[in-house]
Amino acid sequence: MRKRILLVDDEKDFVKLVKQRLQANGYKVLVAYNGDQGLKMAKKRPDLIILDIMMPTLSGIELCQLLKEDPGLKNIPVIFLTCKGTKEDERRGLAAGADEYVAKPFVSEELLDKINKVLEAKGK
């Protein structure tokens, strides 16, 4: 069965392109354009959630923390895909509970590798 990835990012054009990439690599893609929508869509229990950080109202970091607090959702792996690209930002992201961190602009191979890695780890 195809793995489902939830993509949460307020930049619609970006979401369109990444969705194409993910679909071309065999994933089913759910989208949300802000933190609140993301939280709702997460209840559909995707296999992986890719989060932007800088979003209005609810940031990616806050959303990640909420997901990790929810017993039903905390085991869904999270990858941050964000413009915040310093090592310090990465540390903060991982500390919030994310499994991987990718900075924008991103290299598609890096993102796909990390998705693979995280899904494999979850499978075990």
Partner 1 sequence: MEKRKLKICLIDDSATDREIAAESIKSVEEFDAEVVMASTAMEGLQKLAQDRFDLVIVDYKMPGLSGIDFMNKFKERGIDTPVIMATGAGDEKIAVEVMRAGAYDYVIKDEAFRGAMSLVIKRTLERYEVKKERERLQAQTREYAEKLKKTNEELRKISQMKSHFVSVVSHELRTPLSIIKEGVSLVLDEIPGKINEKQNKILKTAGESINRLTRIIDGLLDISKIEAHKVELKRGLVNITDLVKEACAPFKTQAKERGLELKLNLPQQRLDVYADADKIAQVFTNLIGNALKFTKKGYIEISAKQLEDGVECAVSDTGIGISQDNLPKLFKKFEQFARVAGAGEKGTGLGLSIAKGIVRMHGGKIWVQSQLNKGTKISFILPKDIRKR
User: Is 26 near partner 1 (CB under 8 A)?
Assistant: no
Among positions 3, 4, 11, 37, the unique one binding partner 1 when judged by CB under 8 A: 11
User: Is 108 near partner 1 (CB under 8 A)?
Assistant: yes
Amino acid at 116: N
Token look-up 């999270």 returns 78
What does the H/E/C string look like for 15-84?
A: HHHHHHHHHHCCCEEEEECCHHHHHHHHCCCCCEEEECCCCCCCCHHHHHHHHHHCCCCCCCCEEEEECC
CB atoms within 10 A of CB 38: 27
The footprint of partner 1 on residues 39-98 (CB under 8 A) is 54, 83-85, 87-88
- Residue closer to partner 1 by CB (options 23, 65) is 23
- Residue closer to partner 1 by CB (options 57, 108) is 108
User: Is 123 near partner 1 (CB under 8 A)?
Assistant: no
Q: Which residues bind partner 1 (CB under 8 A)?
A: 11, 13-14, 17-18, 20-21, 24, 54, 83-85, 87-88, 104-106, 108
